[in-house]
């Protein structure tokens, strides 16, 4: 069976509400998207996935929902069913787009039983070996806050998944350990922006550790030991960890930004996974999401 991936068409992609630190400049002004470049990058990305033999579904564009170009936080596939996320208020209205589209393509779409708090799908909950990583952080109201320095204010964004989503997810994923990890750097607002699992059992973890609290760094290292592969600040800022592994006829491959350093590339390839580099920089620099943010794994 072909691996199925969901993308969101970027025709109307723009910075509408500026919901993460990457969407605004240092003065707090929303960034402007280079539309011809963005469209060309996305089409090359889509074609690359199709050329690899993946079944690529594309959510039609919606002028009211430009953030739907980043569907990783739409939900999570569990035992053949898609469980819808409960996203942050800025993206709540996207839920009906995903539900209607997925049902049209014969997916069973469900709610997570007992979940009543914010949770952003596989962007914050994903397999790592025989366990799952569950990332969360403080939820804060988007606002401006005074500070010492220039400019004399900063935008507060917060994170995307509530720690109280953990118990219902543990019930949903019965038989799997969920390792809770707390995020502390708003630039890495989802776990998949700073952590990537790969390998035959997704047992290796590419990690920008400073994006986690010290306690969570220790918890990750204690659980996975030498399978945690740290990356530096430059790779992290380029969203190297926002990558996605696929199976190809030639073996496992990790789809990753073409801005990856030689050191990080070598760490991955030495573990038997080849790299497929893509340029989606306009989405990363303006929207705060790279390869993984741009897809939902439906396999």
Q: pLDDT per residue over 125-143, tens digit each?
A: 999 999 999 999 999 988 8
Does residue 281 contact residue 37 with C-beta atoms inside 8 Å?
Answer: no
CA nearest to 279, candidates 299, 258, 294: 258
The verdict on whether omega for the bond into residue 89 sits within 30 degrees of 0, i.e. cis, is no
Distance CA 12, CA 58 (A): 14
Whether this model's pTM surpasses 0.95: yes
**Structure token pair of residue 251:** 């073996």
Does residue 84 contact residue 98 with C-beta atoms inside 8 Å?
Answer: yes
Question: Which segments in the chain show pLDDT lower than 50?
Answer: none
Distance CA 126, CA 57 (A): 21
Edge to edge, the sheet with strand 296-297 lists 55-59, 4-8, 296-297
Distance CA 142, CA 121 (A): 21
* Domain of residue 141, residue span: 4-297
Q: Which run of H or E residues covers position 178?
A: strand 177-182
Q: What is the DSSP letter of 88?
A: -
Please name every residue paired with 110 in a beta bridge, in sequence order, or none if there are none.
Answer: 83
Please name every residue paired with 184 in a beta bridge, in sequence order, or none if there are none.
Answer: none
Distance CA 159, CA 250 (A): 38
DSSP per position, 23-73 = GB-TTSPBP---HHHHHHHHHHHHHHHHHTT-EEEEEPP-TT-GGGG-GGG
Distance CA 7, CA 136 (A): 24
CB atoms within 10 A of CB 273: 17
CA nearest to 228, candidates 212, 247, 252: 212
pLDDT score of 1: 66
C-alpha 46: how far from its chain's center? 17
C-alpha 285: how far from its chain's center? 15
Does residue 91 contact residue 84 with C-beta atoms inside 8 Å?
Answer: no
CATH code of the domain containing 31? 3.75.10.10
Number of structural domains in the chain: 1
């Amino acid at each position: 069976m072909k691996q199925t991936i969901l993308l969101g068409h970027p025709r109307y992609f723009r910075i509408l509400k500026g919901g993460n630190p990457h969407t605004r400049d240092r003065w707090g002004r929303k960034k402007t998207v280079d539309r011809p470049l963005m469209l060309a990058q996305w089409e090359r990305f889509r074609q690359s996935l199709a050329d690899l033999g993946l079944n690529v579904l594309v959510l039609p564009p919606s002028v009211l929902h430009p953030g739907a170009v980043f569907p990783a936080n739409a939900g999570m596939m569990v035992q053949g069913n898609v469980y819808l996320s409960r996203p942050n208020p800025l993206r709540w209205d996207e839920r009906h787009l995903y539900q209607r589209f997925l049902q049209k393509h014969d997916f069973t779409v469900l709610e997570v039983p007992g979940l009543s708090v914010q949770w952003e799908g596989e962007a914050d909950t994903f397999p790592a070996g025989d366990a799952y990583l569950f990332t969360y952080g403080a939820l804060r109201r988007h606002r401006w806050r005074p500070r010492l320095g220039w400019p004399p204010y900063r935008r507060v964004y917060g994170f995307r998944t509530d720690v109280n989503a953990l118990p219902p997810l543990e019930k949903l994923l019965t038989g799997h350990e969920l390792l809770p990890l707390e995020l502390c750097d708003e630039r890495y607002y989802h776990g998949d922006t700073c952590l990537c699992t790969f390998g035959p059992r997704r047992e290796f973890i590419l990690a920008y550790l400073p994006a986690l609290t010290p306690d969570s760094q220790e918890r990750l290292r204690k659980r996975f030991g030498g399978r945690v592969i740290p990356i530096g600040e430059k790779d992290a800022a380029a969203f190297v960890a926002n990558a996605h592994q696929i199976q190809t006829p030639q073996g496992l491959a990790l789809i990753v930004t073409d801005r990856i350093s030689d050191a990080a590339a070598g760490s991955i390839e030495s573990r038997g996974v080849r790299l497929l580099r893509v340029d989606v920089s306009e989405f990363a620099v303006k929207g705060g999401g790279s390869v993984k943010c741009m897809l939902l794994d439906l396999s």
